[in-house]
Structure 1
Amino acid sequence: MKYSSPHNPRASLKRRFAKAASWVLIGQFTGNLFRLGGNLILARLMAPDAFGIMAVAGVIHVIVALLADIGLRQAVIQSPNGERHSFLDTAWTLQILRGLLIWAACIIASLGLRVAEAWTLFSPNSVYANSILPAMVFAVSFSAVINGFQSMKGVSANRAIDLKHITIIEMIAQISSLCLAIGLSWLTGSVWSFVASGLFSSLTSTTLSHAWLKGRRDRIAWDREALSEFARFGRWVFVSSLFYVLATNGDRLLLGAWATPAMLGYYSIAFALTNVFDSVAARLFGSVSMPALSEIARSEPQRLPRLFWRMRAPFDVVFIALAGFLFAAGPSIVAFLYDARYSSAGSVLSLLSLGLLFSRYNIVIYVYLALGFPKYQSIVNAVRAASLFLLVPMLYSFFGFNGAVLGVACHPLLTLPLIFWFNSKHGLNNLFLEVSVLAAWPIGWGFGYCLTNLLQA
């Protein structure tokens, strides 16, 4: 199915971009609304410790999954061969093998945790010393096997910037799994409710990707030409993922060794609240912006900088305003949403809000991929990971847990000179945009201050 118009391809791209962005926003708004509501319910059914244990089990799975990332989805979206059947079938075959590899690696990790527990290698009060953690890692990671069988029809639809059915599938999977988690938590009060709901979500989305999305049936294939292209593109994605996984999940790895399950639970609650905005932007950047930028890079590369600035401006304003808002209102928001057991998450939320000042730069990574320079992404992620593992332990040694949280929020600052340098090579810098959007922070802080006074009245 062709989406471009021979008469006005720019208008066609704008229509597809607007439609896809609308579906992403609908999906993210609905998903975050249900996620927040479910989180509030689960917080009343479960103790803070459960959130801390689940956070570490989940992050171990995510780390292994990202370490096995070879950029299959990005390669299909970016490649001129992305519509060829043998190319798609080879990608699907590699995706299945990757899912099996992830589960096998997580099994080894769970055995390592069991040995560490037996030899008391971790502090008895840390999350890593919890006896249930190895079994949870084993079970949670099986979702990688299920997700490995997801149809490439979804990636093809993403390439064409047609996200209606993909978004609906994600909403169905999320809402149904959330209902299952709440029901099981109410009946059992067990942390295993999270595990069961996560596996059910993967099974639902995988089944619907085959049964509902339009397109040809996926087949096992092993095309040498396609493999060569995946290898060329994927080697930089692999290197990037190696550092990205440390940069985006190293916080919970480090805090899991220092914090009690309850403290990590507070951090997980605050992280989930700030991640609401990050997840919306990440989905828009990855599912809408990158396909659109890739299409422009292939057909009209001279238009790329202007399109990039137009995409970035509204995100910058929203992210900076939200950073100011949450910095002022973080404790009041937590006190309003959660019971007294979670009050410590309020100050953590205020500190983590500073990270939104830097999250707005994440879109530039997708521009680099659209231009065919995944090595830029690798270098930025390497610096980001190094700054995390340097700054967080240093601030923890001086200021304790809150210092570590501040390090988590502000460590991307050290990547900005590198990003500006890469941008200058492709005419992507815009000084007026960088400076003017900063006015949104005090405006957001003012709204947060007013909300705090209103809630305390």
Structure 2
Amino acid sequence: MTSLSALLNPFRGMSTRARALRGTGFTILNVGGRDFLRLLANLVLTRLLFPEAFGLMALTQVFIYGLQTFSDVGIHTMLIQHKRGGERVFLDTLWTMQIIRGVILWVGACALAFPAAYIYDQPLLTVLLPIAALSLFIEGFKTTKEAEANREITIERVVVLRLCTQLAGLIVTALLAYWLRSVWALVAGTLVASVMRVIVMHMVLPGKSNRLHWDWAIVKETLTFGFFIFLSTGASFLINMGNRIILGAYLPIAVFGVLNIAIMLGAAPGQVSRAIAQTVIFPLYRIKPAQQSTDNQRNLFRARRMVALMSMGMCAVLAILGVWVVDVLYDPRYALAGPMIVLIALRGILISPFVGAQEALIGNGDSKRHFYLNGSMAALQLSIILAGITWFGVAGALIAPAVANLLLYPMRARFISRYAAWDIKGDLMLMTLGLVLVLAISWFNWDALLLAFDLNLLQ
């Protein structure tokens, strides 16, 4: 009992270190639990629905995610980074802006429905997209108490509530899939989960409820700061969804559905590490700036290295076991997801050393350089994806993000060094380790990897 108490002591209290440790643990629980529930639901749903349903939903989510990112004016970032982030007038004004944004996003989704159906030759998108995008309208009402918890790295209750509402939504989805046997079950489940999350967070999280308020000075400051956030998140959309946008036009809808399942499983380690960077490392750059002292810098470097090593370890395990996992969990219709998972995990190993580096820019309010970096990454990555598809098929698109990250390393290093955040020693060590792991695992899975290089998968 004494040894257990000693083990838990660092997690207790309200010191920055204790909050960071708890935040890291609960972030892992949040992403890990979320992905486990998704996997569980996916295993059930793939036996009730056909790959085409997952392909249609994946296309719908691409447009919804695109609307979210291309309309981000920095509201969430302001709530966490701004010095007035705890003031009631500030919070309520940003909440009101968030509601207006949700309405505009839903109208935008309705406007995009017909062009999307035409581009991808999927007539059902004309109805599917507007209804699925109601989630954007609903989530416009989410409480700022979630961001307040993130600001102070006290996310424990938020994580528990997110997982509970997600579980409820997945249960509804599974029941509807059994009854409807169509893509509409996926849409309805998403909407139910959104409604439940908004209501539960408002009712259960501690703090004052939001009220409609409008302060032009706050609005102007947010939009001024958010201009580069808007541009940066637009670039982030192309970074995160570029391969899906392009492959959605190249691949048959069934193969695209298999790819979406592979991305869900293969990208899980990267999602964990990015979530830790956003919920823990980002606030730490505000609370303990690296340029303020060598102790702060050393602690931030140590935190980033630990997150990178954890991410690389998870990616390595997934890359080794990816083909086996798909063979065990899914029927033969989804077999191609195995090699795709391996490639996604291998690129995750190569990207892991850079996790948490860019947060130094936005944590110091430098939205301009953050956009320059994201914009360059988007342009370079899309170019590599298009070339990669031509020469290497699906595999070329999947490995493009790793190549782009490596090529942009000098630019990233130059920008973050302004804030004493460039960990050259740690980066070189981690990149060397990542290269060794990638070569070893590629040799181990070589026969399976060749399947993803088959150009016949393209239309």
TM-score under structure 1 normalisation? Answer: 0.88
Q: 3-state DSSP class of the match of 1:214? A: coil
Partner of 2:229: 237
Partner of 1:293: 285
Partner of 1:56: 59
Q: 1:403 deviation in Å?
A: 2.5
Q: 1:333 deviation in Å?
A: 2.3
Q: What CA distance in whole angstroms lies between the structure 2 residues aligned with 1:203 and 1:286?
A: 24
The 5 Å alignment of 1:25-424 reads 25-114=28-117, 116=118, 122=119, 128-297=120-289, 300=292, 303-356=295-348, 357-424=350-417
Q: 3-state DSSP class of the match of 1:130? A: coil
Q: What CA distance in whole angstroms lies between the structure 1 residues aligned with 2:141 and 2:243?
A: 30
Structure 2: which 5+ residue stretches go unaligned?
1-12, 447-459
Q: 1:396 deviation in Å?
A: 1.3
1:14 maps to amino acid? R
**8 Å contact from structure 1 (residues 325, 445) kept in 2:** no
1:34 maps to amino acid? L
Q: More deviation in 442-451 or 51-60? A: 442-451
Q: Note the alpha carbon deviations across 1:104-136, whole angstroms, 9 max, x for none.
A: 11110003235x3xxxxx5xxxxx112212221
**8 Å contact from structure 1 (residues 313, 433) kept in 2:** yes
1:439 aligns to 2:424 (yes or no): no
**8 Å contact from structure 1 (residues 317, 440) kept in 2:** no
In structure 2, the CA distance between the partners of 1:384 and 1:149, relative to structure 1 (3 Å rule), is same
1:385 maps to amino acid? A
Q: How many residues align?
A: 433
Q: 1:276 deviation in Å?
A: 1.3
**8 Å contact from structure 1 (residues 329, 448) kept in 2:** no
Q: 3-state DSSP class of the match of 1:364? A: coil
Q: What CA distance in whole angstroms lies between the structure 1 residues aligned with 2:291 and 2:392?
A: 52
Q: What CA distance in whole angstroms lies between the structure 2 residues aligned with 1:362 and 1:16?
A: 20
Q: What CA distance in whole angstroms lies between the structure 2 residues aligned with 1:242 and 1:270?
A: 24
In structure 2, the CA distance between the partners of 1:207 and 1:353, relative to structure 1 (3 Å rule), is same
TM-score under structure 2 normalisation? Answer: 0.88
Q: What CA distance in whole angstroms lies between the structure 2 residues aligned with 1:415 and 1:99?
A: 34
2:143 maps to amino acid? S
Structure 1: which 5+ residue stretches go unaligned?
1-9, 117-121, 123-127, 453-457
2:177 maps to amino acid? S
Q: Please report the RMSD computed on the Cα atoms of aligned residues, expressed in angstroms.
A: 2.5
**8 Å contact from structure 1 (residues 45, 186) kept in 2:** yes
**8 Å contact from structure 1 (residues 321, 440) kept in 2:** no
Partner of 2:456: none
1:205 maps to amino acid? R
Q: What CA distance in whole angstroms lies between the structure 1 residues aligned with 2:328 and 2:443?
A: 15
Q: More deviation in 434-443 or 165-174? A: 434-443
Q: What CA distance in whole angstroms lies between the structure 1 residues aligned with 2:235 and 2:359?
A: 16
Q: 3-state DSSP class of the match of 1:363? A: coil
In structure 2, the CA distance between the partners of 1:291 and 1:408, relative to structure 1 (3 Å rule), is closer
1:266 maps to amino acid? V
In structure 2, the CA distance between the partners of 1:51 and 1:371, relative to structure 1 (3 Å rule), is same
Q: What CA distance in whole angstroms lies between the structure 2 residues aligned with 1:449 and 1:328?
A: 10
Q: 1:149 deviation in Å?
A: 0.4
Q: What CA distance in whole angstroms lies between the structure 1 residues aligned with 2:144 and 2:373?
A: 29
In structure 2, the CA distance between the partners of 1:296 and 1:212, relative to structure 1 (3 Å rule), is same
Q: 3-state DSSP class of the match of 2:232? A: helix
Q: Note the alpha carbon deviations across 1:244-264, whole angstroms, 9 max, x for none.
A: 111111111111111111111
Partner of 1:455: none
**8 Å contact from structure 1 (residues 321, 441) kept in 2:** no
Q: What CA distance in whole angstroms lies between the structure 1 residues aligned with 2:21 and 2:397?
A: 40
In structure 2, the CA distance between the partners of 1:180 and 1:301, relative to structure 1 (3 Å rule), is farther
Q: 1:143 deviation in Å?
A: 0.4
1:16 maps to amino acid? R
1:176 maps to amino acid? A
Q: What CA distance in whole angstroms lies between the structure 1 residues aligned with 2:172 and 2:237?
A: 29
In structure 2, the CA distance between the partners of 1:360 and 1:49, relative to structure 1 (3 Å rule), is farther
Q: More deviation in 408-417 or 19-28? A: 408-417
Q: Note the alpha carbon deviations across 1:80-120, whole angstroms, 9 max, x for none.
A: 11111111110000000110111111110003235x3xxxx
